[in-house]
């Protein structure tokens, strides 16, 4: 089967807006997503991170570069929509990567209390 472009979604909730919390959350999210899906650095095309308005201490992309050595991969950060009643402290990711897995075989990752964001997934 040829290697195809796939997308991996995920999210983590941090409890305190500090550089360490952001970095730890991003690291855990990426490591778990990569492990579940057999993603190696050379498979990754790009990663988009979003964060809710209450996260201001650090860039998730910076944490990915520093903690996982992803300096040669295009990374981008953006703000999550500020929707009334939305879960606070959320960092989301969208990883584009090459894989021989079928789209339905990609295991998305919602860590801890972020699992309420996708109750339709068995995460």
Active site residue 92: yes
- Catalytic member of 36, 65, 67, 101: 65
Active site residue 98: no
- Catalytic member of 77, 98, 101, 107: 77
Active site residue 80: yes
Active site residue 101: no
Give the contacts of 61 (CB within 8 A, at least 6 positions apart): 47, 49, 75, 76, 77
- Catalytic member of 9, 36, 67, 101: 9
Handedness of CA 70, 66, 60, 15 (dihedral sign): positive
Give the contacts of 1 (CB within 8 A, at least 6 positions apart): 100
- Catalytic member of 36, 67, 101, 118: 118
- Catalytic member of 42, 92, 98, 101: 92
**Using an 8 Å Cβ cutoff, are 47 and 95 in contact?**
yes
Give the contacts of 8 (CB within 8 A, at least 6 positions apart): 33, 37, 39, 93, 94, 95, 97, 106, 107, 108, 109
Enzyme catalytic residues: 9, 65, 77, 80, 92, 110, 118
């Amino acid at each position: 089967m040829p290697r195809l472009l796939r997308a991996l979604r995920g999210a983590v909730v941090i409890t305190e807006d500090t550089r360490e919390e952001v970095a730890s959350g991003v690291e855990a999210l990426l490591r778990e997503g990569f492990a579940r899906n057999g993603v190696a650095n050379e498979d990754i095309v790009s990663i988009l991170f979003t964060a809710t308005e209450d996260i201001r201490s650090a860039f998730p992309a910076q944490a990915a570069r520093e903690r996982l050595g992803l300096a040669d991969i295009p990374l981008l950060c953006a703000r999550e929509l500020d929707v009334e009643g939305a879960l606070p402290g959320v960092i989301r990711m969208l990883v584009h990567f090459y894989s021989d897995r079928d789209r339905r075989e990609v295991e998305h990752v919602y860590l801890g209390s972020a699992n309420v964001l996708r109750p339709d997934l068995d995460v």
